[in-house]
Structure 1
């Protein structure tokens, strides 16, 4: 019995060591700020019925936002802790051309940000909202006055039940710029001390993904994401191809773990419908330097999503889990490496031209 118990523990230790070595090699040229990121604590699942957001906002007097709550929260996959920066009804009426559901999305961020925590953030910190590519900027007039996108928080911490925090805003409101996360593109002035956009949203999405993988039988992949956390934090999005724990402990674990980066497509949120639309021979970038995945069976001729092949491996569980930033697809076995000449031949079969299509 002792030997049986010790074997899985030894495998987990081996996986941790291999992943740590892989990460060290991968981030040798990375920024020091990334390497100093601390992995997050274990994620605690907090499910909050979206139907309650409207009544909460209405009870606090934000009738404009409460009317748009059903559409915004039905449209997002995020159900964890949330902070809402709610303008007064008079402020909302000042922007008659504004879309209330979009406005609500642009002023809602994943995570809890009570006033005392907002005051600890560096001046100019950007927090990505539930509207992809839109960030609110936190600034201060003095130690007591906090501004969100240039609008003062006049009624801080109106509501906080540990899952939802609501702050009241008063002032001129407008939609966020599509460049709100990129200060360099918003102005010709130079701000050398302005901090980069804070990856709060990716941090929350990684915690969400690790938790859901752990309870779904993909604990080793969750561990791999946790170890690679500093390397993943600054990605805009990612697609992960995962093996479940049974497959890993049945013999495929060593190859999958040592080439874990080969199973991540960075800065691409590729749902099953996206993969289904790619022609045979399409190349997908990976986090393993110089290595790409190739679509070997596309979605033409009515092929089902589970029959889509990448590097000759069929997808076992398409869209296994996904959120705002990450999608995970389940595999039967790890991806083998394919020579580039094979990819070029496949592109001819797929009718994509003389060279493979690279995303």
Structure 2
């Protein structure tokens, strides 16, 4: 039983695969239909979870509608309302990706189309609809790749102020590389990652891994969820904030900078003929106090989560 009135005429007009929630919360039926006569929209067969409605509108008093089915509907899954789980693909974690190299160009192109559509659908239903639309717009460019690594930002982050991601999506896509978090953590600091943006590359600014005992960062940004989504050809990592533009030279020389505040080493000028230890002069211009205890204060810079201090670059 489902709440609402769904006569047969209305069911025929529903898009193929429409889900309607039943009176059991979290359980949905799927409505599909097919035409029995080509080019005749009036001759339709309607199916509910694969079971044909053989007696449409068996009873209809304006308050209750009863349709007669050909058989019984199987027990509905708790994921029957979840489009993401019902339509996305799943692959074994130990899949040998070297098998992809044995495919012909035509087979690989077909596989890449399939994998891209899978990721686009899963991103759309997981709160990454902006990125999903962007991948659709760049579909012709992406489908020619062999693999792709994508760094994603969710819709909430984008509309909370990270609008720069919309104009720099190409900077967040690494073509022809399938980089898991384990692969990324093996990269040394300063290693470049070619992106779809021909004028900009990503740079590993902080090497990660167990030996380094620190979180790896790319363009000074850490990864929020590693290996968030993947299939045979596409892998997606999510971020806290968009990547800033960083040059490889900046990343290489950044670790060489001491990190001290340069103002702390600037000498303070003193009047000529006086001792640097003087804190005050007497009437004759001589030091009134020979020993002065200097107090040095250090101001800690404000900590910004997920953005590593890179000296204003």
Greater percentage in helix: 1
Of structures 1 and 2, the one scoring higher in RCO (CA 8 A, sep 6+) is: 1
How high is the TM-score relative to the length of structure 2? 0.50
- Considering only CA atoms, is the larger Rg found in Structure 1 or Structure 2? 2
